[in-house]
Chains A and B, each alone.
Chain A
Amino acid sequence: MAASGIIFILYVLAHMYGNLKAFSGHDAYNEYAHHLRTIGQPMLPHGNLLWLMRIGLIVALVVHVYSAAALWRRARSARSTQYVMKKNLASSFSSRWMRWGGVTILLFLVWHLANFTIGKVNIQGGETNDPYNLLVDTFEVWWMTLIYLAAMFALGMHLHHGTWSAAQTLGLTNNAKSRRNAKTLGWILAVLVAGGFSLVPIFVLAGVIN
């Protein structure tokens, strides 16, 4: 859970940072998208690094979802009779939302890949082989931006608890100070990643990126 989660954290950080290229305009963004496929050439054939990353991410996803399902199943059988009354006192909302939040992210992932990678659906009916135009056409539609913002909220919550939880799972938080630091890092990553990803859709909708 922790190892696959950290792979995702590194990936979303890089992905978020890359997306910000949209602020540099049409040509710079498309060049970046193209460059992703040519990194490592001629050592690696066209698109290979991208595929190595994709394989890594798919493996991480399978491990992550499998472990999540196992934890979910164990939790359910560990308490088959529910309390009539149960209060949650100390836990964050994000910690209690890891499972449904994870499912939300998974559904979003399917949508997102259909939108930009596998399906390349341009809901405005425009061209799909120009990454920058596809991006702008997508987020000019207000409900598309809304879906993405909601997903980023779920991702931010997942990162808020996931970061600290991973540190704890890896045995890095053996005292009060390191526990505080891990929780702070969770906040920082949540705001940085969810906020950073949200900038592009918001600025497209606002007409700044066009």
Chain B
Amino acid sequence: MKVTLKIWRQPDAQTKGAMHTYDLDGVSSDMSFLEMLDVLNEDLIAKGEDPVAFDSDCREGICGMCGLMINGQAHGPEVTTTCQLHMRSFKDGDEIVIEPWRADAFPVIKDLVVDRGAFDRMIQAGGFISVNTGSAPEAHSVPVPRDDAIRAFNVATCIGCGACVAACPNGSASLFMGAKITHLGELPQGQPERDSRVVGMVSQHDAEGFGGCTNIGECTAACPKEIPLDVISQLNRDLQTALRHGH
């Protein structure tokens, strides 16, 4: 099939970017979206042009590295990651608009590649638990109620891709933050740092320049891991508890 691609091109962070149009022929519906971009890049390289820069790593939907705004939807029209999106979701003759995540906290490095270091700094500000290194503790020594374990596991599937920020009209990272806070807060190992975690992550979130959540719900619809909105309620609840404890 044949598609028309409108892609954001920007040589580096300092230079202003613009949309460029490319016609691509010979696309198979079995190709993944990123393979389609690989084909485009081979064409561009053959013509001596600069290939389109985009992020990817596992191409299995588990690492969170990929992420493109495709026709106005984060990760495109299916509930999955960009790498797991296939060209069968498009038709012959389609026009496909491809942009990077738009958030000032995720500055564009080049073309479609953005710097998501803000997420790493939020994790450093509280998204961890402290354990002693050395021999692993006996797993059965810390019982976890089944429902808590299920909730923790479900939200631990967040891969930190940033689609929630990209889709949010406020540019808020509350779904990502809520996923981490719920994941660690549901488990016994997460309790000692529960208060400082939420306070640290929220202050870092705000300092990075993400917007405030108004519970619009675009994030959860874009999330490839279907993290539910209740993690944001949990985040607010934990924040209130921490503030009550004098943090």
Q: How many residues of B contact A (CB 8 A)?
A: 42
Chain B residues with CB below 8 A from A96, complex form: 169, 216
Known A75-B212, A91-B218, A96-B216; judge A81-B102 contact (CB<8 A). yes
Tell whether A118 is near chain B: CB-to-CB under 8 Å. no
Binds A, one of B31-39, B54-62, B65-73, B137-145: B65-73
Question: Bound complex: CA of A78 vs CA of B103, how far in Å?
Answer: 6
Known A71-B170, A168-B233; judge A87-B71 contact (CB<8 A). yes
Return B200 CB to nearest CB of chain A, in Å. Answer: 18
Interface string of B208-247 (1 = CB under 8 A from A): 0111101111101110000011101111111110000000
Chain B residues with CB below 8 A from A178, complex form: 230
Chain B residues with CB below 8 A from A81, complex form: 102, 104
Binds B, one of A24-32, A104-112, A128-136, A169-177: A169-177
Known A75-B169, A78-B105, A170-B236; judge A95-B210 contact (CB<8 A). no
- Say yes or no: B233 contacts A74, CB within 8 Å: no
Chain A residues with CB below 8 A from B235, complex form: 171
How many chain A residues sit at the interface, stated as a range, is: 35 or more
- Say yes or no: B19 contacts A71, CB within 8 Å: no
Tell whether A124 is near chain B: CB-to-CB under 8 Å. no
- Say yes or no: A83 contacts B69, CB within 8 Å: yes
Question: Bound complex: CA of A135 vs CA of B199, how far in Å?
Answer: 51
On B, residues with C-beta under 8 Å from A are: 6, 8, 19, 69, 71-73, 97, 99, 102-105, 167, 169-172, 209-212, 214-218, 220-222, 228-230, 232-240
User: Would you give 14 A-B contacts (Cβ < 8 Å), ordered by A?
Assistant: A71-B170, A71-B214, A74-B211, A77-B104, A80-B104, A85-B69, A88-B169, A88-B218, A91-B216, A161-B215, A168-B215, A171-B237, A171-B239, A173-B233
